Structure formats: structure tokens, C-alpha cells
Amino acid sequence: MFKIEPFIEDCKLAIRESDSHIAVKELVDRAVSDPAALMEALGEPSRGGVDQLYVSEGLTILNLVWAPRMTLRPHNHNMWAVIGLYTGREDNIFWRRVKGVDGGLVEAAGAASLGAGEVSPLGKDIVHSVTNPLDRCTGALHVYGGQFFTTPRSEWTPETLLEQPYDIEKNMALFEEANRYINAA
């Protein structure tokens, strides 16, 4: 049975290790190895949103639910992250900066798809976009090696793929916009 408070305490200890992201990945691997138990503890996702389980300067733990067909534009975190899915599917496109081009242009460099029970560690310099390709919600446990909501970072415009400052409020509003799909269905 997954318990939120012990998981938080284990993550707080893990970030003190020299390879903190590896230690946290092991914890997330264990948590999502039983997706049903994790979903029982966090609740079955019924609408998109970001539930803050724990936030400090050195650690953020979120229950992130992607609404059906929701897409988040290319962005970075400027900190390591470990993402573990407990239901649904998450498609990632990984991007790299185009060398010698002004304006912070990126180009696609790879892709990965995650399903329930799978974990993806992301390095602090990774740029990715995320899509829930399903007609139902996707739930994921997200652990970040820093303060997710206040760390300056970037996002890239979908049409031009040029860099701009990340707008946390606009991105949080995307969850409510995407929930309209649920309400319309």
C-alpha cells in the first residue's frame, strides 16, 4: 500500500544523497510498480490539474493529471525531474537547442511514450513537450529537484519554436481549458 507521507519523507532523505535524482528514481519506480495502490492513495483522476503534495526550495512532489488530449508546449525545468505514471499514457517529444541560431530556437531530437508503471528521469537541461493522447485522464507522480513554481525557466512557442520566459499562470490555466473536453464529453 502506497502512503504519501512516508514517500515524501523518503524523498526528503534521498535529495541529500550525491546522486539524488537516482535515489528519487528508485523511490518513484517502487511507487508506480503498483499503479492501483498509488491510484488508491492519490485518487482516480477525473480532471486535469496539479496537486501539490510537497513543496520546498529543494524538492517539489506533485500529483499531475493530464486532461484528455492535453498538450503542454516545449519547456524546460532547470532542475532534474522524475516522472512516474500510474494511469494512462504520456507522449514526450524531446528538443535540443539549435546551435548558432539566435533566439533560443529548438528542434525535435527524440521521443518517448510512457504508460502506467513506467518512470522517466529527466536531466536538468532537458527540453520536452508532453501530450496525453488518450480520451481519458493520465495520472503521474512528478518529483523535482527544486522549487517547481518559482524556479525561472523557459518555454518555446509552438509555431516558431523560439524561446520565451515560462509563464506558470498561463500553463496552470491550460489544465482548466483542457478540462472543458471532459465536461463536453
Domain 4-180 CATH class label: mainly beta
Residue 100's pLDDT is 74
Query: What's phi and psi for 160, nearest 5 deg?
Result: -100, -15
Give residue-wise pLDDT tens across range 145-161.
999 999 999 999 999 99
Residue 185's pLDDT is 63
CA proximity to 82, closest of 30, 157, 158: 30
Return the residue matching grid coordinates 481519458: 136
Residue 139's pLDDT is 98
CB 32 within 8 A of CB 119: yes
Domain ranges of the chain: 4-180
Query: What's phi and psi for 39, nearest 5 deg?
Result: -65, -35
Q: Give the global pTM.
A: 0.94
